[in-house]
Amino acid sequence: MASKKRRKQLSKAVYDKLKRTAYEYIVVQGMSQKETAALLDITEATLSKWSIEGKWKDLRQDRQQCISTDADNLKKLLRVMSQQRLELEEQILDAQKAGDTQEEIRLRKEARALSDEMSKQNKTLLSLDKTSYTLGVFIDVMDEIFNYMRQYDEGLWEKTIDFQSVMVKRKTNELA
């Protein structure tokens, strides 16, 4: 009887670990359910069930719409726009060499509009790069996380006390 109960506990532990791993792959790392199913050797139906129960789609979307992701996307966009701007300069030179004044004027207008848009996007990027939270908000969030950790596993929480102090000091210096 005891061995059957132990097997059930082990099965639950393995099941929970598998579910946490799937969550990590899908929500945090952005892998597809199909890739995750193949990697973990479980069915897509199981992953779909877990995803629906845990609202993984919403959580994944929230993670993808954070400030750091927005900043990365803006940087990519600025690189593309910069390349387009360089290509326009080449086209302007070609129009000048060909003596096509109308084309040169059209291309210069297009280049000016693109430069204006790049300037706006760069300004937005600079505003995203600035810290958008206070030390109080940081401490409140840390407290909430570590309070939940303490409820979940007090031994683990005790091991993080020094880490918590270091993080608060670090953020105090960063945000000062």
Q: Tell me the average pLDDT across 62-66.
A: 67
Helices 135-152 + 161-175 axis angle, to 10? 170
Q: What is the pLDDT of residue 95?
A: 96
Residues 118 and 164 in one domain: no
Same domain, 45 and 98: no
Residues 53 and 38 in one domain: yes
Please give the model's pTM, rounded to 2 decimal places.
0.44
* Structural tokens at position 29: 């790392």
Query: What's the pLDDT score for residue 14?
Result: 83
Cα 45 to the center of its chain, rounded Å: 26
pLDDT-derived band at 165 (thresholds 50, 70, 90) equals confident
The tally of domains found in the chain comes to 3
pLDDT category at 123 given cuts 50, 70, 90 is confident
Residue in the block written with tokens 């953020």: 171
- Rounded Cα distance between 88 and 78, Å, is 15
pLDDT for the residue numbered 102: 96
The domain of 78 spans 67-129
Q: Under DSSP, is residue 43 helix (H, G, I), strand (E, B) or coil?
A: coil
pLDDT for 74: 85
pLDDT of residue 5: 61
